[in-house]
Amino acid sequence: MITGKKLISFIFIPLAMASVSCSARIDGVLQTGGKADLVLQASLENRTTALIRSLRNFVGDDTGAPTLDSQSINSSMAAAPGIRDVSLKNTGPSALEGSIALSNVGDFLASENAKSSLVTYAEGNGAGSSSIIIILDRDTIPVLVSKLSPDVEDYLSALMVPVVLGETSTAKEYLDLVASVYGRPLADEIAASRIRAFIEFPRPVTNVLGGKASGNRAEFDIPLLDIFVLEKPLRYEVNW
C-alpha cells in the first residue's frame, strides 16, 4: 500500500494514471435464499503495471507486491458485510482471478448510515415476483471502492476520479482532461475499459433493466467510465 499522503502530488499522477484501465468479467450464480457465488477475472494492461511500479519506486514503496494484490483485496473484502468467503489469487503481476461467495446479496455492503443501498433483494414464490436492484450512485460507489483495498482507493483518489473525490464532471470533460495531460491514447484506453457480468438466476428472467436476458441468465456490459463519472445514478434491475 502507498503510505503517507492520500492524494499523491499532481506531478506524479501520470505514473499511476493507467491504473484505471482495467477489464473485468464476473460470472455468477444466484441461489434461492439470496446466496450467490461469483467468479471474478480482472486484469490491467502491461503499460499500467509499469507505470504503477514507477510510482511505487518513486515514493519508496516498492515491496514487490503485484499491481493488483490479491492478498490485500482478499483481506479487505473478507471484512465487508454480506461476504461469506473470498478467495482471489494472482495469475500475474497485474491480473487476478478467483471466487467470491455472498451469504446474502441483500446484505452486501449494507450500512445503517448509508443514504442508499447498493443492493436491494426481494424474494417471492411466483414467476416475476423476485427481484434484485443494484444502484451505483455517489453514496454507494465510495463505499464499494473503500472495500476493494487501500491500494485501489489510493490510486483512484490520486487520479482525481470524480465519483471517488465527490466531484462532478461529464465523461467528455474527464476524458478531455486526461487527453490534455496524458495523451489521447490513454484517454481512449480508459474509455474502452469495461465490466461484463453474466448472472444465472433460479428461474427464467421476466424483466431486466440495464442489460439483456435469455432464459435464466442476465448479461450486463458496463463501461467503467460511466461508473467513474456517474453523470447520473446507474440502476440495474432483474425480475425472475
**Three-state secondary structure readout of 125-165:** CCCCCCEEEEEECCCHHHHHHHHHCHHHHHHHHHCCCHHHH
- Indicate whether 155 pLDDT > 60: yes
- Are residues 20 and 228 in contact, defined by beta-carbon separation less than 8 angstroms? yes
Residue predicted with more confidence, 82 or 48: 82
Q: Which band of pLDDT confidence, cut at 50, 70 and 90, is reported for residue 3?
A: very low
Q: Which band of pLDDT confidence, cut at 50, 70 and 90, is reported for residue 168?
A: very high
- Given its phi and psi angles, is residue 10 left (phi above 0), alpha (psi -120 to 50 degrees) or beta? alpha
- Given its phi and psi angles, is residue 15 left (phi above 0), alpha (psi -120 to 50 degrees) or beta? alpha
